Amino acid sequence: MPIGDLAPEIAVLVGAVLVLLAAMALPQRRHGVCAGLALLVLAIAATLATAQLGAHRLTFSGTFALDGATGVARLLILGATALCIGLFPRWFATDRRHGEFYAMVLFSALGAMAMAGAADLMQLAMGILLSSVTGYVLAAWHRDWAISLEAGMKYFLVGALANALLVIGIVLVMGMTGTTDYAALRTADLTAPLALIGLMLVLVGFLFKLGAVPAHTWVPDVAEGAPAPVAAFLTTVPKIAAALALIRLVALVPAEGSSLRLLVALLAAATMTLGNLAALWQDDVRRLIGWSSVSQAGYALMAVAVIGLSDRALPALIAFIGAYVVANIAALAAIVHLRGRTAITGFAGLIRSQPLAAGTLILAFLSLVGIPPLVGFGGKFVLFLAAMDGGYAWLAVVAVANSVLSLFYYARVIGPVTFGTSDERVEALGAPSKAVMLLALVGVALGSSVLLFVWSALPVTALP
Amino acid sequence: MLTLCILVPLLGALALAAIPSIRESTARTIAIAVTAVPLLLLLVVWAGFAPGAGFQSVAEARWIPSLGIAWRVGVDGMSLSLSLLTGVVFLAAVAWPMADLPRARAYYAWFAFLYAVSLGLFVTLDLILFYVFFDLSLVGMYFLIGRWGHGEAQAAALKFFVYTLAGSLLILIGIIALALSMPEITFDMRAIIAAAPLAAAGLPAALVLLGLFVGFGIKTPLFPVHTWLPPAHVNAPGPVSAILAGVLLKMGTYGLVRLALQMMPQTFVDWALPLGVVAVISILWGAIVALGQDDLKRRIAYTSVNHMGYAVLGIAVAGSAMGTQAARDIALTGAVVEMIAHGLITGALFLIAGAIWQRHQDYDMAAYGGLAGVAPRLTGATTLAAFASLGLPGLAGFVAELHIFLGAFAVYPWLAAIGLLGILITAALFLQLLGRVFFGALPAARTGFADLTRIELGILAGLLGLVVLIGVWPIWLLEMIGTAPVAVAGG
């Protein structure tokens, strides 16, 4: 067995165990060391993943796809996790279980990586479950705080249901086709009603991880109630994996003679519209970001809907997700840096008291709208290009209407931040979150050119 | 050269934004300098410009070949004249003295930024860059109105942003559709104009054109999507209004010509008449509603709807494929001259409105009267600008409207006849405005009304001097624009 093919995953696994051991051995006040250790682990894994970027083969008896899509997903997951880790140390400095936290985050990232590369339904279920179970714990980390517990609980309940359906779906597909292997499923007959139902149930599992309709309800709660740095992690990292894994699965079903793509397109339209409508009148900025993250998942589904119809679908998905992750982390990093400030009224005049955090928040929001030359513009542009190329121009028009709608609620925050006044002295969290914020800010500001530069290097097809 | 025109103000904006130690007076000087330099560069481009010879001063740099995107700049008669207008109006607006300006450094930084993207929009030959500049102009305007406006400034800025973003995203869809329909994806304007790729596409082409009409129609603005304009103008400071009316509105009509007319001429033919009808409705609606306003600035704002209606009527005539080629060319030339004339005249009018606000924080015409006695300079400048705006022969507005109606009567005589009514109403509303604000009895509260300062008068004299020059001796401008301003295929 080519153990080396999974070197990045193994590195994260071993690293997580080491972090856990370190957390047990060290006194609480030294738990910050675990953050450094986790970053080191991520760096090693990223180096190993970079070395495998050129690979294009199935490995471990066809259960894991080692291709460009997996490579990019790994790097995105590791990068996003590293950015999030910078947000944790000060936030959890007084937490009794500070050190263990990093182990949990690494396990969660590992689940995401396993999900992104899965080329077999069972392997997929394992990835989704690992990512979910750790996610519940992370969301409810402040277990003495009711809202955090509530967020974890809702996440868990929706997740348990969605994952149960996912597993039943897998069983149905396996029962009808005799295989869970993607390469075999590609040629298998999936038209039997039970197999179709199975496929739909599997889809629900994905929609849960992606935070899309109809399994989206956890996103705003987690964004509001989970510790703010955890919200940054949970609204980005699992979504990267879910989007890539979903497009890999949908690509198995031929574009002709199946209405799966139309279904995905309808889900995309529903998700973006619902997310935006719900975000309109939120007075809690974290909850607003949560709903906006739902609508962004809807945009991402646009690319999934045209896989097989346009050569640009996969690169567009990667580009869009990358852009979303950078902007969303930037927005939440600004909020973390402001010590989790949430009420919209608390943001008045922030541009003068905390210019850097306010600027980051504004640019992140404008990027999520898709204003050029911010990174979100590059993402949305290639997304529209792919959707129209694949014959889903109406979906692009729906996305346009939604982008306009989204500007309205982002501006409800941007307006007070820029034009409002306040005498309040605003405290910030400290150097690590500031550094993350700056990094994400640079990504938001310059990302579009980077994105379009690497565009032609992005993978066009995914295995199998 | 053209690239430099964009870079200089952009770097100026960055410097102003990044260096905290710049004082207000220095900030203004820097802003004036970075505004003047591109104008001089454009004059140099003009000196070497051969009218009617297609795009000139072209520069191109590879950027993203796999998507057919590149840094492409170049000008033809229309875009050169509009760039020069941009330079002149911005110079006037930046130089306009602002008393008690809060956060002056940021104010001038946004101005320089807006200048760079406005010039970029007119000189770029790449559709993606066009879109980028189009969107960035919204961002710049949003912050300028929201931060330095008065009254309901935030709501007005947001309304402006949301409305025009809707338009610009529709344009993005249209741009992508055009690029995708090329044999090999490209966003090169010249290639798309030459190929007119959606010529035989039927319904999709009509939808794309409709998207472009709505998108640019919002920006222009045309009835019924003009409602963002009055609040944005009323609540913005005078120089910002001048830019909004003088430069940003032109982006709509420029886009209508460059994208809708030039890239989709065959489809445009079918929709020229509906566009013409909407234009005439805008002409009349703008004029009638303006007549009903008691708010000085709101009244001027609505005349923008009216005047941009003339320009769109000219464009509709040019794309109609009816009448003679000569008539259509005359109409299009008229449309471009109207853009220039409206930019200069309305720019001046809004600066005047700004001057009045700076003195008494009131736009209600009923609160004024008899200013002619205390402020003769202001009265003279306003009278000249108002007469130019109502189309008095010998001034720029007349040249433009004469061309447009000459062309329109040859193609859509009855539309032109209805449109002429608009000129009558405009005349009435400006004469009434002059009468109410400058003549009659001076209210006691206004006895101390200060006349224009020398700087203010100088700036207005510059703008209005150009208006007179175009009015009495328009040949230099007509030559620059060219007799056949743009190559219309099909026809």
Q: Containing domain of residue B199, as a range?
A: 2-481
Q: Does residue B40 carry a pLDDT above 80?
A: yes
User: Which residues are paired to B364 by β-bridges?
Assistant: B295
Residue B353, in any domain of the structure:
yes
| Distance, CA of A439 to CA of A442 (rounded, Å) | 5
Structure tokens at A128: 């989704």
Structure tokens at B308: 């941009």
> Residue A343: its pLDDT value, please?
86
Beta strands A64-66 and B69-75, pairing class: unpaired
Beta strands A57-59 and A64-66, pairing class: antiparallel
Distances (CA, A) of B244 to A310, A394, B238, B239: 40, 32, 10, 9
Q: For the residues of B398-454, what is the DSSP string, one character each?
A: HHHHHHHHHHHHHH-HHHHHHHHHHHHHHHHHHHHHHHHHHSSPPPGGGTT-----H
Residue B486, in any domain of the structure:
no
* A366 contacts B158? CB cut-off 8 A: no
* Residue B60 C-alpha, separation from nearest chain A C-alpha, in angstroms: 17
For chain A, how many structural domains are there in total?
A: 1
| Residue B177 near residue B198 (C-beta atoms within 8 A) | yes
| Residue A177 near residue A195 (C-beta atoms within 8 A) | yes
Residue B375, in any domain of the structure:
yes
Interface of B with A in 60-89 (CB under 8 A): 63-67, 69
Q: Does residue B15 carry a pLDDT above 70?
A: yes
| Distance, CA of B460 to CA of B384 (rounded, Å) | 10
* A385 contacts B67? CB cut-off 8 A: yes
* B172 contacts A381? CB cut-off 8 A: yes
* A377 contacts B132? CB cut-off 8 A: yes
Residues 6+ apart with CB under 8 A from B47: none
Longest CA–CA span in chain B (Å) reads 71
Average pLDDT over residues B281-304: 92
Residue A372, in any domain of the structure:
yes
Residue A124, in any domain of the structure:
yes
Residue of B131, B146, B180 with shortest CB distance to A389: B180
* A407 contacts B64? CB cut-off 8 A: no
Q: Does residue B409 carry a pLDDT above 50?
A: yes
- Phi (first) and psi of residue B75, to 5 degrees: -130, 145
Token look-up 């603005």 returns: B221
* A418 contacts B162? CB cut-off 8 A: no
Chain A CB within 8 Å of residue B180 CB? yes
Give the number of other CB atoms < 10 A from CB of residue B26: 15
| Residue A322 near residue A244 (C-beta atoms within 8 A) | no
Residue A249, in any domain of the structure:
yes
> Residue A144: its pLDDT value, please?
86
| Residue B339 near residue B82 (C-beta atoms within 8 A) | yes
Residue A394, in any domain of the structure:
yes
Side chain identity, residue B473: W
What is the C-alpha end-to-end distance of chain B, expressed in Å? 34
Residue of A385, A408, A418 with shortest CB distance to B143: A418
| Residue B160 near residue B154 (C-beta atoms within 8 A) | no
> Residue B37: its pLDDT value, please?
94
Side chain identity, residue A461: T
Which residues of chain B have a CB within 8 Å of the CB of A397? 173
| Distance, CA of A325 to CA of A84 (rounded, Å) | 11
Q: Does residue B486 carry a pLDDT above 70?
A: no
* A381 contacts B128? CB cut-off 8 A: yes
- Phi (first) and psi of residue B126, to 5 degrees: -120, 130
* B64 contacts A415? CB cut-off 8 A: no
Which residues of chain B have a CB within 8 Å of the CB of A382? 67
| Residue A346 near residue A352 (C-beta atoms within 8 A) | no
Residue A192, in any domain of the structure:
yes
From the number of C-beta atoms within 10 Å of its C-beta (0-12, 13-18, 19+), residue A421 rates as: exposed
| Residue B443 near residue B371 (C-beta atoms within 8 A) | no
For chain B, how many structural domains are there in total?
A: 1
Residues 6+ apart with CB under 8 A from B348: B92, B242, B381, B385, B460, B463, B464, B467
* Residue A456 C-alpha, separation from nearest chain B C-alpha, in angstroms: 6
- Phi (first) and psi of residue A450, to 5 degrees: -60, -50
Q: Does residue B297 carry a pLDDT above 60?
A: yes
Residue of A371, A388, A389 with shortest CB distance to B139: A371
Which residues of chain A have a CB within 8 Å of the CB of B143? 418
- The helix/strand/coil state of B58 is strand
| Distance, CA of A448 to CA of B479 (rounded, Å) | 41
Q: Mean pLDDT over all residues of chain B? A: 90
Q: Which residues of A214-226 are buried (b: 16+ CB within 10 A; e: fewer)?
A: ebbbbbbbbbbbb
Residue A464, in any domain of the structure:
no
Residue B489, in any domain of the structure:
no
* Residue B420 C-alpha, separation from nearest chain A C-alpha, in angstroms: 37
> Residue A350: its pLDDT value, please?
87
Length of chain B counted residue by residue = 491
Residues 6+ apart with CB under 8 A from A421: A348, A349, A352
Distances (CA, A) of A174 to A64, A120, A189, A345: 18, 11, 11, 53
Residue of A373, A385, A401 with shortest CB distance to B176: A385
Which residues of chain B have a CB within 8 Å of the CB of A299? none
Chain A CB within 8 Å of residue B132 CB? yes
Name the stretches of chain A with pLDDT < 70.
1
| Distance, CA of A39 to CA of A20 (rounded, Å) | 14
Q: Containing domain of residue A106, as a range?
A: 3-457
| Distance, CA of B388 to CA of A441 (rounded, Å) | 49
* A371 contacts B64? CB cut-off 8 A: no
| Distance, CA of B13 to CA of B4 (rounded, Å) | 14
- 3-state DSSP helix/strand/coil % of chain B, to nearest 5: 75, 5, 20
In chain B, pLDDT over 70 holds for what percent of residues?
Answer: 98
**Closest by alpha carbon to B285, among B298, B299, B302?**
B302
Token look-up 């996790």 returns: A81
Chain A CB within 8 Å of residue B135 CB? yes
The residue in chain B having the minimum alpha-carbon distance to the alpha carbon of residue A420 is B147
CA atoms within 13 A on the CB side of A322: 31
Side chain identity, residue A454: V
pLDDT tens digit string along A258-282? 788 999 999 999 999 999 999 998 9
| Residue B258 near residue B230 (C-beta atoms within 8 A) | no
Residue of B67, B131, B173 with shortest CB distance to A455: B67
Q: How far is CA B289 from the centre of its chain?
A: 20
* Crossing angle (nearest 10°) for helices A313-337 and A237-250: 170
pLDDT tens digit string along B116-130? 999 999 999 999 999
Chain B CB within 8 Å of residue A404 CB? yes
Residue B255, in any domain of the structure:
yes
Residue B300, in any domain of the structure:
yes
User: Which residues are paired to B413 by β-bridges?
Assistant: none
Residue B488, in any domain of the structure:
no
| Distance, CA of B424 to CA of B112 (rounded, Å) | 38
- 3-state DSSP helix/strand/coil % of chain A, to nearest 5: 75, 5, 20
Q: Does residue B491 carry a pLDDT above 50?
A: no
Q: How far is CA B327 from the centre of its chain?
A: 24
* B158 contacts A411? CB cut-off 8 A: yes
Using pLDDT thresholds of 50, 70 and 90, give the confidence band for residue B483: low
- The helix/strand/coil state of A191 is coil
> Residue B484: its pLDDT value, please?
55
Q: Which of A400, A453, A456 to mutate against chain B (most B CBs within 10 Å)?
A: A400
